Chain A
Amino acid sequence: MRAVVIGAGIVGAACALALAERGAEVVVVDRVGVAGETSSRCEGNLLVSDKAPGPEADLAIASNARWRPLAERLDDDRRDGRPATEFEAKGGIVVAFAGGGAALERFADAQRATGIRAVGIDAAALAADEPFLSPEVAHAVHYPDDAQVQPSNATQALLAEAMRLGARLVIGEVTGAIGRTGRLAGVRTSAGEIDADAVVNCAGPWSAEVAARLGARLDIRPRRGMILVTAPMPQRVFHKVYDSDYVGAVGSGDAALQTSTVVESTPGGTVLIGSSRERVGFDERPGVAPAAAIAAKAVRLFPFLERTILLRSYVGFRPYAPDHLPVIGPDPDVAGLVHATGHEGAGIGLAPATAELVAHAVLGAPTDLDPTPFLPSRAGLRETA
């Protein structure tokens, strides 16, 4: 069994590892190499706190549980300069300003019913947990299972592990299909043809284009996100801290600029401040508006940030489907093609569970995850493809 995985981002790398360790011969194809795009331009969130009850929350809970042993294994097995995943089970704290507490508490209640751990914390505990947080914060919920990896490094570690198990990386761009209509037998790339029994489309924001080149229709679009990075400093933020406005915004269909505040420290001493969401195609020039909006909200949450130096900003494109659910499973029209994309801002967290579903789709490997809600054949996706 030979599988071609298109895309060496976190999802492609996780799929390559899942397939390789289940015995498949794996070839990963990427235009630039490992973690060249989205997975090097994001925060590395492994979140359950932002998920409303539903299939994605179930997948996030399952994936969160899979990340822990996976990160440990990757970090234990480092060699030859392979970077550490920087997995940190630091937990998340979602906060609300006056007036927002009831909505946050309702959301947390609904999450608890699905098995997400969400613990209300009082003012004294909050001041001890996050002493630099604005005293205006009125409500807070602690999510002990929220965690973080350095996303680029985690991707590099996953791919290195897959390659240790025999996977190969080909630098090249997929240009077309091999095989007759409706049945893939491999891919043509700028680096030559690769025969395959299965092709896994992990091209993230570019997966609609890749699908089209392989004769399939897939409605995946790019969502632009911006993140700010401060100068390194002594640690003043101890968890992932979110404004609860994050909760409502991820699934919004509004194309205009939206931001929600996420503040956290990194092992390098910088503070990451996210993030914005704009649906503007592949435009890499965001102007100053998203940075200003993110900065204003972050200062409201952590007043010390006002005088902190901004070192850089970066933008990345997140892949999203019109119904804001990941797309994982066999293409309904083209046999031999499996998609694993559309994870929006949650791909790092959802990668291990996604890879398990891909191994199920490609190899028939057993899984206790329910693939149904994410199938490319679902109604919410077919309407617009």
Chain B
Amino acid sequence: MIRITVDGEPVQGRDGQTIAGVLVGAGRTAWRTSQTGDRGVFCGIGVCHDCLVTVNGVEGVRACRREAADGDRVEREVRA
């Protein structure tokens, strides 16, 4: 079991899951603010960039491609 935070809230996932896998497994469907509302995972394989998050202060990480590490701080990105 691993534990990450999403905008400060703790979320648990299984060791080895991608960040998107952890979030979807926890029942979350959206974690980025786009011009037209919230977005989450769409293509699931790194193509569409809809699932971008900031991880440990680094912007532009595809949640569907990055394996979650225990303690990761995941933050929402907002597209102006």
Do the two chains touch directly in the complex (Cβ atoms below 8 Å apart)? yes
Instruction: Return the contact of B59 from the options A233, A235, A269 (Cβ within 8 A).
Output: A233
Main DSSP-derived SS at the B contact region = strand
Interface string of B50-80 (1 = CB under 8 A from A): 0000000011100000000000000000111
Q: Which of A231, A269, A307, A309 makes the CB contact (< 8 A) with B80?
A: A269
Contact A307 B79 (CB under 8 A): no
* Residue count of chain B within 8 Å CB distance of chain A: 6
* Residue A232 interfacial (CB < 8 Å): yes
Does A234 interact with chain B (Cβ within 8 Å)? yes
- CB A39 to nearest CB in B, in angstroms, measures 27
A269 to B35, CA, bound (A): 12
Cα–Cα, bound, A268→B60 (Å): 16
Q: Give chain A nearest CB distance to B80 CB in angstroms.
A: 6
**Whole-angstrom distance between the alpha carbons of A232 and B49 in the complex?**
12
Interface band, chain A: under 10
A309 and B79 contacting across the interface, CB-CB below 8 Å: no
- Which residue of chain A lies nearest to B80 when distances are taken between CB atoms in the complex? A269
Cα A234 to Cα B80 with chains together (Å): 7
B58 touches A269 (CB 8 A): no
CA distance A308 to B54 in the complex (A): 12
What's the least CB distance linking A268 to chain B, in Å?
10
Cα–Cα, bound, A269→B78 (Å): 11
Complex CA distance for A33 and B46, rounded to whole angstroms = 35
Q: Could you tell me which residues of chain A, from 133 to 181, have a CB within 8 Å of some CB in chain B?
A: none
Q: Which residues from chain B contact A234 at a C-beta distance below 8 Å?
A: 78, 80
Residue of B nearest to A304 (CB): B59
Whether the pair A232, B58 counts as a contact (CB closer than 8 A) is no
A385 to chain B, nearest CB (A): 50
Chain A residues, CB < 8 A from B59 = 231, 233, 307-309
Instruction: Give the most central of B78, B79, B80: most A CB within 10 Å.
Output: B80
- Residues of the A chain whose Cβ atoms lie less than 8 Å from the Cβ of B60: 231, 308-309
Complex Cα gap A234–B58 (Å): 14
Q: List 16 A-B contacts (CB under 8 A).
A: A231-B59, A231-B60, A232-B79, A232-B80, A233-B59, A234-B78, A234-B80, A235-B80, A269-B79, A269-B80, A307-B58, A307-B59, A308-B59, A308-B60, A309-B59, A309-B60
Residues of B within 8 A of A (CB): 58-60, 78-80
For the complex with contacts A234-B78, A309-B59, 14 further pairs of A-B residues with Cβ separation under 8 Å are: A231-B59, A231-B60, A232-B79, A232-B80, A233-B59, A234-B80, A235-B80, A269-B79, A269-B80, A307-B58, A307-B59, A308-B59, A308-B60, A309-B60
**Those 10 A-B pairs whose CB atoms lie nearest each other, nearest first:** A309-B60, A231-B60, A269-B80, A307-B58, A232-B79, A234-B80, A233-B59, A269-B79, A307-B59, A309-B59
